Amino acid sequence: MLRGSELNEVIENELKEMVKEGIKKAPISNTALHKRLIAKEHIKGGLSTLSTPERKVLIQKYTTEQLLPLNLNEKEEQLYVNKKTRQALLDTIKGLKERITELEGELNQNTVTLIQIINQVKLKTNLEWDDLLAPYLISELKNQSNLKKI
């Protein structure tokens, strides 16, 4: 069984591996890390093995690193880290997915409206609008059938 700095190194390597595996497959927590270290026969002691100040800092560092891509606000991250509720994280993900769907619908509606305006202006003026429009709108003008009609 490992001890001291050797164990700290193994713990850090295990945490790096958990970060690579991702939060869905290997969410970092003291308990999860402890189980992995026991399964690999690096330790046989209790959960308190991970409670030294240096190890706590290591675990916190890699937990934060694992949560970084989720763009959680400070409150949501603290809820997750404190294990008060993992549901807060799941609720945030669900809310963000709903917001994305809502914003995609708004973008589609706004694009359709803007294209209708552009088409009317093209009919009534001699302006070259293609030079003034964003590339996104130019491609949407060319592919009007791709937009959902509202």
- Whether residue 81 is contained in a domain is answered as no
What domain count does the chain have?
Answer: 2
Which residues touch 127 (CB under 8 Å, ≥6 apart)? 121
Are residue 8 and residue 61 in the same domain, yes or no? yes
| Tens-place pLDDT, residues 5-51 | 888 898 999 999 999 998 888 888 888 999 999 999 888 888 888 88
Residue 112 CB neighbour total at 10 angstroms:
16
Are residue 8 and residue 66 in the same domain, yes or no? yes
pLDDT at 150 over 50: no
Provide mean pLDDT across the span 53-70.
87
Are residue 105 and residue 60 in the same domain, yes or no? no
Higher-pLDDT residue of 55 and 147 is 55
Q: What percent of the chain has pLDDT over 70?
A: 85
Tell me the residue range of the domain where 113 lies.
Answer: 94-146
pTM confidence score? 0.53
Are residue 63 and residue 103 in the same domain, yes or no? no
- Whether residue 38 is contained in a domain is answered as yes
For residue 55 the two structure tokens come to 């190890």
